[in-house]
Structures are given as structure tokens and as C-alpha cells.
Structure 1
Amino acid sequence: MPEYTPVGLDNGNAPVRALTHSGNFHADETLGYVILHYALAPEGDLRGRVLGTQTTDRLDFVRTRSPERISAADIVFDVGGRYDPPAGRYDHHMKDKPLREDGTPYSAAGLLWKDYGMAALRNILKTPVDDATLATLWQAMDKSLILPIDQDDNGVVKMGKLSLADIVSACSPPWDTAELYGRDEARARETLGFANAAQAVAAHLVNMVDRTRAGLKAVSRVLAAYEKAEDKRILVMDTGMPTEKVIFEHDLPVVYVVSPAGPDRWNVKAVPPVRGDFGQRVSLPEAWRGLEGAALAAASGVPDAVFAHPARFICGAASREGALRMAQLALEIDAASETA
């Protein structure tokens, strides 16, 4: 975190003039603008500020390469040839570009996230959190969202198809827009494209922050449930939540997760051998494959058994007790097949 007070965070009311370059836009300066929006003026009109339809806003934002306007702006990012955070300069295209501790070059988004990310998070979160949780959330977002954009923008690792970078690029007008409609229309469409990209990135950022917050909350609950488990291979959760990430990050020997899936339904889900894989550490019994209702109850011996997926990775019962019994039986059947 910065040892100085970033421009605009020392006074919550003073106007701030922020600037990035015009022309082709990418995920890093688009996200950079969104970060400044949430950090400095979250009540403002994100699109209107870009399109020039919002007239009263603390954050004045412009896209230009004019040297005079760059010099006059309070915050300049992804352009200007300087990295001088106390002076509000956040370019990363110089020969001696700013680097992360691991040597990864920063993008404009990464540089702004370092200085303004905490303030943005405070304004995005609907429910306040303590400083320790906020710092953990900042770090998790930096790793999962900001770092990949830094890597992509600097040609280190390309983000995959349908990534945030692809979504931003798709908002740009086609290369022949000026040829077909003239330069003025091309500039107008480029501005509109940036506004659309900023709106998409903002929605993604807000949703990702909330999901990451919930994910951090899930960690303590999953670990607590694991500690209570009589059989450490069966994790019983009283509330549905993501568990796979915690299981693999903490190297838990969980084979099945039992959790509610709606009114009168509890599921047993098999944990894959590798995070995100389609396989199972221990598949559900072959004899249950694709059965439902009475047929599954007869085959399993669990009276309220409801279904067993043909792929043998999930099954369910009407009660917590029924689902737990299915998980126990599946392990017993697997053990018996190993010794047969």
C-alpha cells in the first residue's frame, strides 16, 4: 500500500481531472477508469462522464493525447511517459517500467489498483468489513483479476478467449469505421465503445468483488465443518456454498460434499481428483447410475433417495440424513470393490 496519499483521496470533495489516451482502448485503461470511478466518485454516471452527458461530477474524465491536457490533468494513466504516483502519473510504457515484486510488469490497471483499489473496494462493498478482511479481499482481487490484465497488456501471458480483455476489445468499432462513415463518426463510435466497455468492466468488477467476498467468508465455514466431520472424507455443509477451492487449497482429503440443494433436497457431490476436473476422487456406485425415485431407493437402501446422475458425480436424497447415508454407502461400496 502507498506511503503517500494518492491524488484525490486526501480530500473527498475537491474536483479531480483524470485522463487517459484516446484511440484504441484495452482492458487495462478501461479498468483503470472504472477503479478511479469507484474510488473517487462512485455516485457519478460512469457512461455519462465518458460521453460528456454528465455535467456535475467530482471526477472529470477525458480521453486525449494532447500534451497540454496531459500536463494539466491531476491523474494521468496509460499515457504520458511517467510513473510518479505522488504526482498522479501512472504510465507503464517507459523503458524502465514499474514492476511487481516477482518481476511482472504493471499495466495501468495494476498501478491504479495498488493506489486506489482499497478505496474502490470500500465504495463497492454494500456491507462494511474490517481492515484485515479488506486487505485480504484486495489481495485476492489483485491475484485473480488485476495480475492477469497486467500480464496480458504487457505480453507476458495472454488472457483466454471470452476473457475480460476480449469483451473490452469487442466494444471497439471495426477497423474500417472511418473509411465507411468518416472520421467524426468513427471518433464518436470509439467514445461510445469505451463507455460500453467501461460499463461492462464495472459490472464485472462489482460482481467479482462480491463473489470474492463471499468466497472468503466460505473458507472459515468450510474449515469449521471439516473440523466437525466424523469422517474427514465426507464434508457436510448446512448451507450451499463453493467448497472445492477450499478443499484443494487446504489439501483436505474430502471425497464427497453433502449440502442442501433446495427445499426437501440434499445432494452428494463427488470431489474431482484435480480442481476443476470432471472426474471424481471416488465415483458414486455403478449400481446407482442414472436411477431415480423408487428404483434408486431399492438399489441403494436409502428410502428417500431421489436421483443419481449417469456420470456418477452427484446424487441426492430428500433429507440430510438420507444424503449423508448415501455418501457413507458409496464409500463402503468403493472399499468393498477394492478388496474384492
Structure 2
Amino acid sequence: MVTPPESKRQKMEKVIGTHNGTFHCDEALAVFLLRQTSTYRDAGLKRSRDPAVLNTCDIVVDVGAVYDEPTQRFDHHQRGFTEVFGYGFQTKLSSAGLVYKHFGLDVIANKTGLLLDDSKVTILWLKLYKEFIEAIDAIDNGISQYPTDIKPLYRSRTDLSSRVGALNPAWNQPTDSETVDAQFVKASLLAGEEFLSRLNYYSNAWLPARDLLIASVSSSKSLIDPSGKIILFEKFLPWKEHLFEIEADGSNPTIEANQAIYVVYPDEFSGNWRVQAVPVSPESFESRKALPEVWRGLRDEELSKVSGIDGGIFIHASGFIGGNKTREGALKFAQIALEM
């Protein structure tokens, strides 16, 4: 028999512990995330509530009533536990959040191929907590999304925590440990695959859009409008979320709060060009400076005649967006609107 190299044997000897019986999304995801790290990539799994069994594990999540990073114990059920993620997040952590807080940077670096100290790893780490992990923490800890007693108009059971919970055997199905453990493996893969899907989107689509926004603001100030009030994108990209986040956190000196007024970009389908007024907030329909009232609701030749700009297609009745057949025409809309 060929003996595995020492480093391989050490990896194989690592064991993750969690509780047996009914499982939830938080520990299912926690186990998956640990298996994406350098330390626990090839770890085995023991599901038990027996302290003697858990004491044989290298790391224990969601059971044991202990949170202690040095000894690799990550439970959140004990009295007095109040740990949160930080960075402005105030939701009490579940085992998913605890593992993500301590190992998430390693996971992201491993899966993206980025260096651990690359600033993009931290950006993705915070984004994935906000968009994916925090909800799992809140649901597991019984924290309502909205602080209200109003009865909802409908119920939703399509969230990830609900779908993981549905993998537990029903009351009239076998609940022996072998059956439940097999279902837990399915649950862990389900939660993990969705996490990786989100990570793939944010690293390969969302983050490149952020980089392109920063570059476009810089080039627009140099070539289009030194004041920074007009941003020109040479290709369509989802810009709004990034603009507001960077304005708010001040992470890039090129982008100042409330500076941008209009963005100009090519329509992703028609080949025409758009000019859009930046809203006062990401969810708002109110613009920082709507396109001129005298243009609103006009189309085609009438719009071109009134505005004095050839190639006009439309200006929305609310003035938040307009269209022109050419890049130059859309830029003219923005430039003249600034002066009116």
C-alpha cells in the first residue's frame, strides 16, 4: 500500500464536528465553508452532541456552548453570546456567520485565486456577508427582517434556510443517523453551491463593474467634464450600487459624494445611447437633477427640435432618463441639462 505524504495525511486527519439530529442552514453552510479553506479542505465530519465525541474534533460548529477561536469552537447558542460581524453589521451571528467571520477571507482567496491581502478579497468578503450570510444569521437567531407586527400579505418559504430545512426527514420518515447524516450532506452542498454561485457573480461580474466605474469616472473627468458631474460609460454596466457605495465610504478620492449628476452609456440591446439622471438615493425615483422639464415626454423629431439636439429618441415624463441615437447626442443632452 502506498503511504500518502505526511502533509496529505495531516489534512485527512482533520475532523469537523457539529450536532446530530435536525439540521439548519447555518451549520450546513459552516461545514461547507470550512471545507473550502486551506486548513480543513479534506476534513472529515462527525455529527454528535456527545462532548466526548466532539472533543476528538479539530473544530466544532453550532454545538458545545463555546465560542473560542483559539480552540476552534464556534457555537452561538450559549447565554451571553452577542458576537456580530462588525463593519457596521449588527445582526447576531450564527455558526455560519462565525465561521465566515474567521475563515471567509481564506475561502474567498482560495476560490478566486486572489492573494489574501488583495483589497478585492476584503471587498468581496464584506459584500457576501451583506448579501448572503447575514440573512442566514438572522433567520437562525429568530431576528425578524422588519420590526413590525403587521401581518404579511403572503408567506415565503423559498429562501435558502427554508430549503435546507426542508431536507430534514418528515415526521413519518426514517430518522436514523445514517439517513439524517446523508441528508445533511445534501444540505451542506446546497448551501455551499449557492454561496459559490454568489461569489462567482460578485467576483466575475459585480467587482469588474466597480473597477470599470472608477476608471470611467477618472476618464470622464479628464476628457468629458472636469467637474465630475457627467460620467460616460463606453459600455453598459450596473453602476448605481457601486457609485453610491463608493460615495458613502469614501474609498476612492476620484468619486466625491453627490458629485455625479448624469451618466451616459450605450443601451445594451438597441445600440442607441442613454442619459440617466443620478437619483438622490439608490431606491429613490427622485433625481439629483432631472432632465429639463421642457423636454419631458417628448419624442423623436419634436424632442430634437425643442432641445436643439439631433437624434433625439425620448425623454421620460419624469425626466430621470432619455435616449439619443448617438453617443454625441446623449452627451449633449447631459451637457445642456447641466446648464438649464
Would the TM-score normalized by the shorter structure come out above 0.5?
Answer: yes
- When structure 1 is superposed on structure 2, of 157-166 and 142-151 the one drifting more is 157-166
1:238 aligned counterpart, secondary structure: coil
* Structure-1-length-normalised TM-score: 0.72
1:178-234 deviations in Å (ceiling 9; x for gaps): 23x444598465654454333333323432344553355246325424643234332
Tell me, yes or no, if structure 1 residue 201 matches structure 2 residue 188: no
2:322 aligned counterpart, secondary structure: strand
Match of residue 93 from structure 1: 77
Tell me, yes or no, if structure 1 residue 17 matches structure 2 residue 4: no
1:200 aligned counterpart, secondary structure: helix
- 2:108·2:125 contact (CA, 8 Å) conserved in 1? yes
Tell me, yes or no, if structure 1 residue 265 matches structure 2 residue 259: no
* CA deviation after TM superposition for structure 1 residue 163, in Å: 9.7
- 2:128·2:199 contact (CA, 8 Å) conserved in 1? no
Question: Within 2, Cα distance between the matches of 1:69 and 1:159?
Answer: 40
Tell me, yes or no, if structure 1 residue 171 matches structure 2 residue 178: no
* CA deviation after TM superposition for structure 1 residue 259, in Å: 1.8
2:55 aligned counterpart, secondary structure: helix
Q: Size of the alignment, in residue pairs?
A: 308
Tell me, yes or no, if structure 1 residue 230 matches structure 2 residue 226: yes
- 2:15·2:43 contact (CA, 8 Å) conserved in 1? yes
* CA deviation after TM superposition for structure 1 residue 175, in Å: 8.7
Which amino acid is the alignment partner of residue 262 of structure 2? Answer: Y
- When structure 1 is superposed on structure 2, of 112-121 and 67-76 the one drifting more is 67-76
Match of residue 328 from structure 2: 321
Indicate the RMSD between aligned Cα atoms, in angstroms: 3.8
Cα distance change of structure 1 residues 329 and 219 upon mapping to structure 2, 3 Å threshold: closer
1:236-247 to 2 correspondences below 5 Å: 236-244=232-240, 245-247=242-244
Question: Within 2, Cα distance between the matches of 1:26 and 1:277?
Answer: 36
- 2:65·2:76 contact (CA, 8 Å) conserved in 1? yes
Match of residue 4 from structure 1: none
Identify which of structures 1 and 2 has the higher relative contact order when contacts are C-alpha pairs closer than 8 Å and 6+ apart.
1
1:19 aligned counterpart, secondary structure: strand
Question: Within 2, Cα distance between the matches of 1:68 and 1:205?
Answer: 36
- 2:312·2:323 contact (CA, 8 Å) conserved in 1? yes
Cα distance change of structure 1 residues 290 and 63 upon mapping to structure 2, 3 Å threshold: farther
* CA deviation after TM superposition for structure 1 residue 286, in Å: 4.4
Which amino acid is the alignment partner of residue 269 of structure 1? Answer: Q
- 2:303·2:313 contact (CA, 8 Å) conserved in 1? yes
2:81 aligned counterpart, secondary structure: coil
* CA deviation after TM superposition for structure 1 residue 21, in Å: 2.6
Question: Within 2, Cα distance between the matches of 1:208 and 1:157?
Answer: 26
- When structure 1 is superposed on structure 2, of 213-222 and 66-75 the one drifting more is 213-222
* CA deviation after TM superposition for structure 1 residue 111, in Å: 2.0
Match of residue 262 from structure 2: 256
Match of 2:125 among 125, 138, 155: 138
Q: Tell me, which stretches of 5 or more residues in structure 2 are unaligned?
A: 1-6, 148-153, 249-255
Question: Within 1, Cα distance between the matches of 2:140 and 2:21?
Answer: 16
2:36 aligned counterpart, secondary structure: helix
1:72 aligned counterpart, secondary structure: coil
Match of 1:214 among 202, 208, 212: 208
- 2:168·2:183 contact (CA, 8 Å) conserved in 1? no
Question: Within 2, Cα distance between the matches of 1:105 and 1:204?
Answer: 22
Question: Within 2, Cα distance between the matches of 1:257 and 1:67?
Answer: 60
Which amino acid is the alignment partner of residue 117 of structure 1? Answer: G
- 1:140·1:212 contact (CA, 8 Å) conserved in 2? no
Q: Tell me, which stretches of 5 or more residues in structure 1 are unaligned?
A: 1-10, 43-56, 336-340
Match of residue 154 from structure 1: 141
